[in-house]
Homo-oligomer: A and B are copies of this chain.
Amino acid sequence: MSYFKHHVFFCLNQRPEGENCCAQHGAAELQAYAKERVKQLGLAGVGKVRINKAGCLDRCDDGPCLVIYPQGVWYTMVDRHDVDEIVERHLRDGEIVERLRLP
């Protein structure tokens, strides 16, 4: 059994000006929002969900992106609505959100 059921890593990397990166697409704000939502829904904690900051996940052109382990499911997202869908459908209900999934 995994220490966290869903361990979520948001790429927050900031590349030099002009280069595409997750930070320039609001990743930090989306990570903070996800963390807050998970807490509000009572999903946070050992054996449950952990929302983490991460350095560059090396998928800069797919960003902002996140990965959920141990499932190894990658998502992209553009706004809070997308984060809500990932939190409620994947983290709470255990479904894959195909619309936002990265190959």
Q: How many A residues are at the interface, by size bracket?
A: 10 to 19
Known pairs A69-B70, A70-B72; A55 contacts B58 (CB<8 A): no
CA distance A74 to B2 in the complex (A): 10
Contact of A52 (CB < 8 Å), options: B50, B55, B72: B55
Q: Are B53 and A54 in contact (CB under 8 A)?
A: yes
A67-81 interface mask toward B, CB cutoff 8 Å, 1 = contact, 0 = none? 101111010000000
Q: How far is the CA of A87 from the CA of B76 in the complex (A)?
A: 30
A-B CB contact pairs (8 Å), 9 listed: A2-B72, A7-B69, A9-B9, A9-B52, A52-B57, A53-B55, A54-B55, A69-B69, A69-B70
